Amino acid sequence: MDMKVKLVVWFLFMLTAPGLGSAARRRNLEVKRHLSRLNKPSIKSIKSPDGDIIDCIRISHQPAFDHPHLKNHTIQMMPSYHPEGLYRDGKRVGKKESGGITQLWHKNGRCPQGTIPVRRTREDDLLRASSIQSFGKKKHKTIPKPPSYAAPQPDLINQNGHQHAIAYVEGDQYYGAKATINVWDPKIQQTNEFSLSQLWLLGGSFASDLNSIEAGWQVSPDLYGDNNTRLFTYWTSDAYQATGCYNLLCSGFIQINNQIAMGASIYPLSSYRSSQYDISILVWKDPKEGNWWMQFGNDYVLGYWPAFLFSYLSDSASMIEWGGEVVNSESDGQHTTTQMGSGHFPEEGFGKSSYVRNIQVVDESNNLRAPKNIGTFTEQSSCYDIQLGRNGEWGDHFYYGGPGRNSNCQ
C-alpha cells in the first residue's frame, strides 16, 4: 500500500474513530437545546429592516415562566399604582419624546394583543459567547462605585476595563427612578467592548450580594452581532455571579406589552449638530404588590421584575445612578477609542454632547421628585466626563461622554 493510500485510510479511520468530534457534537446539541428554550413557538414573526426576527409569542409562554417559582404565577397585567407626579388631571406631564421614538421592526409590522415581541436568538449569537451558560450575562462586575459610597476597590473600578461617567444619589430609601436619555450610536473599537447609557437601581453591598435593576440603551457587538443601538434591561441579585441576564435571555422579567421588544433596535437616532432624539425610562416599585415595574416612554408599560427575585430590592433601593459606561479593553496597549454617548465631551452642549434630563427618584410615598445631593463620578475625565445642570424645562440633568483615546487620554 503506497503512502497516499495509507494517508487516506488513516484519515477515514480518524473521522469515524469513537469519540472523535464528540465535544463538537455535544456543543452543537447544547446550542440547539438552549435555542429551543429561548425561542418559544410564535404565532407571528416579523422581519426587521436590520435583519432581526421578532417573534410574537403568547404572553403565557415567555421565558420568565421557565423559573420554578413562576410556574403557577398569575400575571399582573397592570401595576396597582403609578408614581404620583407622572400624571396630572388625567394627562401625562411632560413632552412626548422628540420625533416619536420607536423601534426599527415597527416598520414591518406589530404583534397582536395577547402576545409579546421577542427578538429571536440565533445560533451565531450563542457561538459568540464564551460558553452557553454565560450567554446573555455580564462578564464582569460593572457597577460604578462612587468614592463617597465607600473606598473604591480596584477590582470593581480600575482593573476590569469598565469606565463610567455617572450622576448618583445615595443615603435614602428609593422606590424608583426616571430619566429621559438622549439616544446615539457611539462607535465601538473592538467587538468585545460596548457603550451604553442607562439608569441603575441598587441595593446591598458591592461584593457578592449586590441587587441591581438596569435599563437604557446599548451598542454591544458581542451580544447582538452588530453595532445597532438597542433598548436593554438587566438584573442581578448576587453581583452578576449566577443570577440575572440581559432582556428576556433568562427567566425573571415578566413582559406584558405587545409593542416594544427588549433588545431591539431603537429608531431614529440623534446625529451631531442635527436632530436629537431621546427615550424616557421609569422603573418603580408597586407599593401594593412589591414588584418592580418598567415604563418606556409615555405610553408603554413593559412589565415587571417580581419582588422574590431580590433580597435587598425586595424592600427598596439604597442608591440610584444615571449615566454612561464603556468597556476599555486596551487590546492594543492603549486606551480604547470606543465612544461614550455621542463621543463628544459635555462642554460642547446640546446637539453635540449626549444628555440625560429630568432625572427623578420615587420616594416612600410613591411620589416622583427631584433627587437631593446629586454626586458625579468618572474614572478618567480626560477620556469621558460629566457636567451637571438644572433649569426649568429639563430639571436636574447632565451632559456626559467623550471619545475615549485622545491626546489627553492614552
Query: For position 1, what pLDDT does the model report?
Result: 53
Amino acid at 132: I
State yes or no: pLDDT of 155 exceeds 70: no
Query: For position 141, what pLDDT does the model report?
Result: 57
State yes or no: pLDDT of 93 exceeds 50: no
Query: For position 92, what pLDDT does the model report?
Result: 37
For the residues 141-156, what does the mean pLDDT come to?
51
Identify whether the C-beta of residue 233 lies closer than 8 Å to the C-beta of residue 214. Answer: yes
- Annotated catalytic residues are 214, 325
- Point out which residues pair with 356 in neighbouring strands: 181, 398
Give the pLDDT band of residue 160 (cuts 50, 70, 90).
Answer: low
Query: For position 28, what pLDDT does the model report?
Result: 82
State yes or no: pLDDT of 157 exceeds 50: no
* Rounded distance between C-alpha atoms, residue 182 and residue 336, angstroms: 22
Which of 4-18, 141-155, 386-400 has the largest mean confidence? 386-400
For the residues 152-181, what does the mean pLDDT come to?
79
* Rounded distance between C-alpha atoms, residue 78 and residue 196, angstroms: 29
Query: For position 101, what pLDDT does the model report?
Result: 64
Mean pLDDT computed over every residue of the chain? 88
Question: Listing from the earlier edge strand, what are the strands of the sheet with 195-203?
Answer: 230-236, 211-219, 195-203, 317-327, 162-174, 375-378
State yes or no: pLDDT of 59 exceeds 90: yes
Give the pLDDT band of residue 97 (cuts 50, 70, 90).
Answer: very low
State yes or no: pLDDT of 99 exceeds 80: no
For the residues 285-303, what does the mean pLDDT come to?
95
What share of the chain has pLDDT > 90, as a percent?
72
State yes or no: pLDDT of 301 exceeds 60: yes
SS (H, E, C) the chain: CCHHHHHHHHHHHHHHCCCCCHHHHHHHHHHHHHHHHHCCCCCEEEECCCCCEEEEEEHHHCHHHHCHHHCCCCCCCCCCCCCECCEECCEECCCCCCCCCEEHHHHHCCCCCCEEEEECCCHHHHHHCCCCCCCCCCCCCCCCCCCCCCCCCCCCCCCCCEEEEEEEEEEEEECEEEEEEECCCCCCCCCCCCEEEEEEEEECCCCCCCEEEEEEEEECHHHHCCCCCEEEEEEECCCCCCCCCECCCCCCCEECCCCCCCCCEEECCCCCCCCCCEEEEEEEECCCCCCEEEEECCCEEEEEECHHHCCHHHCCEEEEEEEEEEECCCCCCCCCCCCECCCCCHHHCCCCCEEEEEEEEECCCCEEECCCCCEEEECCCCCCEEEEEEECCCEEEEEEEECCCECCEC
**pLDDT tens digit sequence for 228-268:** 999 999 999 999 988 999 999 999 999 999 999 999 999 99
pTM: 0.89
> Nearest 5°: phi and psi at 41?
-55, 135
State yes or no: pLDDT of 15 exceeds 90: no
Nearest to 35 by CA among 249, 335, 312, 321: 249
106 or 129, which is more confident: 106
Q: If 0-12 CB within 10 Å is exposed, 13-18 middle and 19+ buried, where does residue 186 land?
A: buried
For the residues 60-71, what does the mean pLDDT come to?
91
Identify whether the C-beta of residue 165 lies closer than 8 Å to the C-beta of residue 323. Answer: yes
For the residues 335-347, what does the mean pLDDT come to?
97
Give the pLDDT band of residue 26 (cuts 50, 70, 90).
Answer: confident
Quick one: cell of 294? Answer: 418598567
Query: For position 96, what pLDDT does the model report?
Result: 38
Identify whether the C-beta of residue 290 lies closer than 8 Å to the C-beta of residue 76. Answer: no
Query: For position 8, what pLDDT does the model report?
Result: 47
What share of the chain has pLDDT > 70, as a percent?
86
